[in-house]
Amino acid sequence: MFKHLIDPDLYHGWNKKNNFFEGWYFKIVTADKKQSFAFIPGLFLGKTENESHSFVQLINGTDVFYKYKRFPSKDFNTSHNRFSVSIRENYFSLDRIQLNINDPDFSVEGTLKFKNVLKWPDTQLNPGSMGFYNFIPSLQCYSQVCAMDMDLQGNLNINGKIIHFDGGKGYIEKNWGKAFPYSWIWIQSNSFSSSKTSLSCSLAHIPFSFFSFRGFLIGLYVHGKFYSFTTMNRSRINIKQDHFDINIQVENSKYILYMKTRTGPSTFILLNGPRDGKMIPLVQENLQGKVTTTLLQKKPNKIIFQEEGLRAGIEYGGEQMLVLDND
């Protein structure tokens, strides 16, 4: 199918029987920036029929709680023509999510609507956030930023408590392919003081044919303008580890972007991810992070934007030495 290539939000696994996964990541933050959650619906096709299943991952960033809710593969349903995913009574799209899970250790019920959805700018020749890389077959993992920013409307009943999300912020991205990268870093926040400001940063070690490279997709929406720093537009990047945190400097021909994360080691959560034909504990994620973000214009030398993003999603996976700079 060609449609999913020019619209990466769509499902990519129609002709897949095994060794494939696809998952959509919905991050939501309350208006007061005090509570954050993430929900990940998806499908995993393993080596055998018994290993294959659909799932909804439930992440409570406030209470540092995680649940992997498994369903039969047949419970996963999606559309050929639009971003629409359902797993039993749980529904996910670019317009809303509807959740109905009632387990003893975690329950969630309700509907959130999404308004004023802000997309990553693209074209048919460079679709989605990965651009022309979407057309390269057999990459280990593909990614897509479905919504850089969106306004939330509605309430969720989480573990018997009504949580109001009116005026809150949402973000959506997805991954699909054979397995997660052997090493990656992800940073995201759209909870800044400035309205409609959103940062998304993904970088990974990417095996390709007989070699490998460090690829990255970084986008910043601020003051009504989108700033892109990616492997495709030949931006240059430097990454340093600072204990549990990361300092990143990336620049293109006109701008320099600095990102500095702040986390606490006790607030990381271990999530499942696809590796070697199985879903295993693989992903270190934090939904209580902070990221100081500074955008500098080279000529003239001036700061365009400098703020701290709250309730940042910060994620590490694999062998970090593959993506860090050692000098």
Nearest to 274 by CA among 64, 53, 17, 32: 53
pLDDT at 318 (0 to 100): 76
Strand partners, 200: 188, 219
As a whole-number percent, the residues of the chain with pLDDT over 90 amount to: 78
75 SS3 class: helix
Element (H, E) at 87: strand 84-87
Sign of CA dihedral 297, 307, 293, 309: negative
pLDDT at 86 (0 to 100): 98
pLDDT at 137 (0 to 100): 82
**How many Cα atoms occupy the beta-carbon half-sphere of 94 within 13 Å?**
19
d(CA 34, CA 161): 15
Are 183 and 324 in contact, with CB atoms under 8 Å apart? no
pLDDT at 127 (0 to 100): 80
d(CA 141, CA 137): 10
d(CA 99, CA 308): 31
**How many Cα atoms occupy the beta-carbon half-sphere of 91 within 13 Å?**
12
Domain ranges of the chain: 3-322
d(CA 308, CA 223): 15
Q: Give the angle 176-11-4 at the CA atoms, nearest 5°.
A: 100
Nearest to 170 by CA among 62, 286, 31: 31
At a CB cut-off of 8 Å and minimum separation 6, what does 41 contact? 23, 24, 26, 54, 55, 56, 85, 87, 90, 92
Q: What are the phi and psi torsion angles at 131 (to 5°)?
A: 60, -135
Spans of the chain, pLDDT less than 70: 1-2, 209-211, 320-324, 326-327
